[in-house]
């Protein structure tokens, strides 16, 4: 029996000729990631275990992005712990305020992840890098500590679901609409500890940013990882970012999948997820006019330059509704500078938006966008759990940048077609 992409990557990193779903393996790591929330916990475990050194200072990344710029004394203490550890072991890829970006947008931009690599991160959305044909997955802080010390981690090889993407996406359909549609189909536990392997002729129509968005939210269906085949777009993306050699893996024609899901992207409508689960999906036609108090455009899911271009293109020439507030957060400093150079920042500010330095901030109810009781936001983030963006009686509706931008102008949930 052949192997899936995920199985091939795990087999290669375990030094094995073959693996199958359910196998327990020890595999070599290409990168270990942590942030300002999870790294301090891992550092505490690392110190208590008495580890004398990290396995490779070039293969650890620590990104201070969740509560930064520090919102309070506790967040400042967490960042201090991470800074001291990074200095102690001379961690090469340490990103602090001023150089930071939202981790899952920053690492691909910096060329720290590449096709065929194995990456773990103490953050659930580490699965983002599957867009590049890598195996990447979120782990707990204890696993991060062990990974930093040894460069190894244990894995159970996941079973796989084959997601066949067909057709050219309809107008205004982005990667966010595709993944929300999929989660709506299979549920938040539909891919529990499974690999979501995306394939089909429709993949060629998706930009790299679309693929990052889709892989990013694989975890919202319970997935262990989400992964795309490596094609010309992938190679072009990494060409000027990754100088080290990498390996491209392809699924065998006789690879075994637990199930197959087909999505015709040409038939999709802009899709949102209502509170309080990413699987609670509706098309825009079912929710037009729903009142909102806040719009958030950003995050590791949809804070990339293409997202900002889409949102700015819709907002240009308009003022955002006086009934709500709009927060725009570019995912990295480079994206921030590109926005300024392209005039996007000016468009947002002129329209009445607040434009922030890169941060996860409001996505997890950290800061810069927390809501009070009874408020509702439409957001390009990835989770809409109870209390996710503030008060337990606030609500989050997940949407694409196009839908979020249109809603900002209209003053209630709206389609870009409404402008």
Confidence (pLDDT) at 366 = 84
Confidence (pLDDT) at 314 = 97
Helices (H), 90-187: 103-109, 141-150, 175-186
Mean pLDDT for back-to-back runs of 10 residues, the chain (419 residues)? 95 97 97 96 96 97 93 94 96 93 96 98 96 97 96 97 96 97 95 96 97 97 97 96 96 95 97 96 96 96 97 96 95 96 97 94 87 96 91 96 97 94
Confidence (pLDDT) at 111 = 96
Domain ranges of the chain: 5-263, 272-418
Domain 5-263: give its CATH superfamily. Aconitase, domain 3 (3.30.499.10)
**Common-topology check for domains 5-263 and 272-418:** yes
Confidence (pLDDT) at 360 = 87
Confidence (pLDDT) at 40 = 96
Domain 272-418: give its CATH superfamily. Aconitase, domain 3 (3.30.499.10)
- One-letter-per-residue 3-state SS of the chain: CECCHHHHHHHHHHCCCCCCCCCEEEEECCEEEEECCCHHHHHHHHHHCCCCCCCCHHHEEEECCCCCCCCCHHHHHHHHHHHHHHHHCCCCEEECCCCCECHHHHHHHCCCCCCCCEEEECCHHHHHHHHHCCEEEECCHHHHHHHHHHCEEEEECCEEEEEEEECCCCCCCCHHHHHHHHHHHHCCCCCCCEEEEEECHHHHHCCHHHHHHHHHHHHHHCCCEEECCCCHHHHHHHHCCCCCCCCCCCCCCCECCCEEEEEEHHHCCCEEECCCCCCCEEEHHHHCCCECCEEEEEHHHHCCHHHHHHHHHHHCCCCCCCCCEEEEECCEHHHHHHHHHHCHHHHHHHHCCEECCCCCHHHHCCCCCCECCCCEEEECCCCCCCCCCECCCCEEEECCHHHHHHHHHHCECCCHHHC
> pTM score > 0.85 for this model?
yes
Confidence (pLDDT) at 365 = 86
Confidence (pLDDT) at 61 = 97
Confidence (pLDDT) at 155 = 97
CA dist., res. 356 & res. 349, Å (int): 11
Three-state DSSP class for 198? strand
């Amino acid at each position: 029996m052949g192997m899936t992409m995920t199985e091939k990557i795990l087999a290669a990193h375990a030094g094995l000729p073959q693996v199958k779903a359910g196998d327990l393996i020890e595999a070599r790591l290409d990168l270990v990631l942590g942030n300002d929330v999870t790294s301090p916990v891992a550092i505490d475990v690392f110190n208590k275990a008495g580890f004398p050194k990290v396995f490779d200072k070039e293969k650890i990344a620590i990104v201070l992005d969740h509560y930064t710029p520090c919102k309070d004394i506790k967040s400042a203490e967490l960042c201090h712990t991470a800074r001291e550890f990074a200095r102690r072991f001379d961690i090469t890829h340490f990103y602090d305020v001023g150089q930071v970006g939202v981790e899952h947008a920053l690492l691909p931009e910096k060329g720290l992840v590449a096709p065929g690599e194995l990456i773990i991160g103490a953050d659930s959305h580490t699965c983002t890098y599957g867009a590049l044909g890598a195996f990447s997955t979120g782990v707990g802080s204890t696993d991060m500590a062990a990974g930093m010390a040894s460069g190894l981690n244990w894995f159970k090889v996941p079973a796989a679901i084959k997601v066949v993407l067909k057709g050219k996406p309809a107008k205004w359909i982005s990667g966010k609409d595709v993944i929300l549609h999929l989660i709506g189909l299979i549920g938040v536990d539909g891919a529990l500890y499974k690999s979501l392997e995306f394939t089909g002729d429709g993949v060629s129509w998706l930009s790299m940013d679309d693929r990052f968005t889709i892989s990013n939210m694989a975890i919202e269906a319970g997935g262990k990882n989400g992964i795309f085949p490596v094609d010309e777009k992938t190679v072009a993306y990494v060409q000027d970012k990754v100088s080290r050699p990498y390996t491209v893996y392809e699924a065998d024609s006789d690879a075994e999948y637990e199930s197959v899901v087909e999505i015709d992207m040409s038939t999709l409508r802009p899709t949102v997820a209502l509170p309080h689960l990413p699987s609670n999906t509706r098309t825009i036609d079912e929710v037009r006019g729903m009142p909102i108090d806040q719009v958030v455009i950003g995050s590791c899911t949809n804070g990339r330059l293409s997202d900002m271009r889409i949102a700015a293109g819709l907002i240009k020439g308009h003022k955002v509704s006086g009934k709500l507030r709009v927060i725009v957060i570019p995912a990295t400093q480079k994206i921030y500078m590109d926005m300024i150079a392209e005039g996007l920042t000016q468009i947002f500010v002129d329209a009445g938006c607040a434009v922030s330095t890169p941060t996860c901030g409001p996505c997890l109810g950290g800061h810069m966008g927390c809501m009070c009781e009874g408020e509702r936001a439409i957001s390009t983030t990835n989770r809409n759990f109870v209390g996710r963006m503030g008060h337990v009686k606030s609500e989050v509706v997940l949407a694409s940048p196009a839908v979020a931008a249109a809603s900002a102008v209209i003053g209630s949930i709206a389609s870009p077609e409404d402008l």
